[in-house]
Amino acid sequence: MKKLSAFVCLLLVISLIFTAACGKTTTDTDQGKQENAAKEEKPIVIKYATVGPDEHQYTIASRKFKEIIEEKSGGKIKVELFPNAQLGGEREMAEGVKMGTIQMTTVTSDGALPAWVPETQIFSIPYLFRDREHAYKAMDGELGKILAEKFEKQGFKHLGFVELGFRHFTNNKREIKEPADMKGLKIRVQEAPIWFALIESLGATATPIAFNELYSALQQGVVDGQENPLATIRSMKFYEVQKYLTLDAHTYAPGSVLINLQFFNSLPEEYQKLIVEAVDEMKVYQRNYIAQKAEDDLKFLKEQGMIVTEPDRDKFVEATKDIPYKEEVKKLVPPELVELVRNIE
């Protein structure tokens, strides 16, 4: 009987241990599922940086992207916006995207980006695009594909182009009606050989200054003038420190929408597709918005006291016609790429 009692006790102890173990396993499994579910519910966050204030062309684009992607993803993708150069100038933001400290940015295509993709300086070739439609066909077509492949080799995913606009000269010295009126003026430009060639061909002096430092440079007389689209002149309040506006439309300036390539490739395919679709929808909205706003911007600048001049554009075209074929320019932008764009119908 003693042996039987001992055996029964042993069975009871084993049963209790087994029950406890099973209970613990079930609890651990449930807890793991809960933790995984929590992880799955946590939204993906995209930090999107731009250099301009709330009404700047790129900030308008980023706000629209945020609206579209958060709606399309049902809140599974969240966008944190950083306008007003909070995360640095265009060079710093592009570097941040390349390194992955920032997920997305929009920067001027032929500004800081030629440091990685020299061919983006095709947008600096003066009087290359006939009108907006010509530019859109090039950017959304063969030219866009060629540049996107080059960006991927540098760690960027190039998602598309938004509009900065046709660029015009402003200055604080005199009206500019023809290239001879440019002589002796110090004009702020982006730091690139083609911009230097453009300004020098017009008899002025090219002075590179970071965009986020430009207002103070104009205010303090470090430079006499600058060149930017009407919307930028308005949003950055350059009319406060510039008197003359020359509507020469020397180049068409787009903004490149970039995302860190490694980050993009790490996302599920459905999220990648949503991001691409959101940018496609955003760029159409933003381009239309900026194009329609141009007339209002010009009226506003006149009301602020700027003296607006429509120059003899043919003389500007003639003065700059050899720029694509200068040796220093050909090293950056192959002439055949220029011809490809010119021949787009």
CA 171 → CA 107, 175, 185, 219, distances in Å? 24, 8, 8, 11
- pLDDT band, residue 1 (cuts 50/70/90): very low
- pLDDT band, residue 55 (cuts 50/70/90): confident
User: What does the alpha-carbon distance between residue 292 and residue 166 come to, in Å, rounded to a whole number?
Assistant: 13
Which is more confidently placed, 100 or 192?
Answer: 100
The answer to whether residue 24 scores a pLDDT higher than 90 is: no
How much helix, strand and coil, in percent to the nearest 5, is found in the chain?
55, 15, 30
pLDDT of residue 83: 95
Tokens of 305: 């006291």
The answer to whether residue 310 scores a pLDDT higher than 80 is: yes
- Mean residue pLDDT of the chain comes to 89
The answer to whether the CB of 145 falls within 8 A of the CB of 160 is no
pLDDT of residue 133: 95
Query: If you search the block for the tokens 């030629």, which residue do you land on?
Result: 114
Residue of 14, 78, 24 lying closest to 47 (CA atoms) = 78
pLDDT of residue 162: 97
Share of the chain above pLDDT 90, in %: 78
- pLDDT band, residue 17 (cuts 50/70/90): very low
For 228-256, the pLDDT digits (tens) are: 999 999 989 999 999 999 999 999 999 99
Largest CA distance in the chain: 121
For 136-178, the pLDDT digits (tens) are: 999 999 999 999 999 999 999 999 999 999 999 999 999 999 9
Q: Which class would CATH give 43-170+212-342?
A: alpha beta
pLDDT of residue 16: 47
Distance of CA 178 to the CA centre of its chain: 32
Query: If you search the block for the tokens 């300004």, which residue do you land on?
Result: 199
Q: Structural domain boundaries of the chain? A: 43-170+212-342
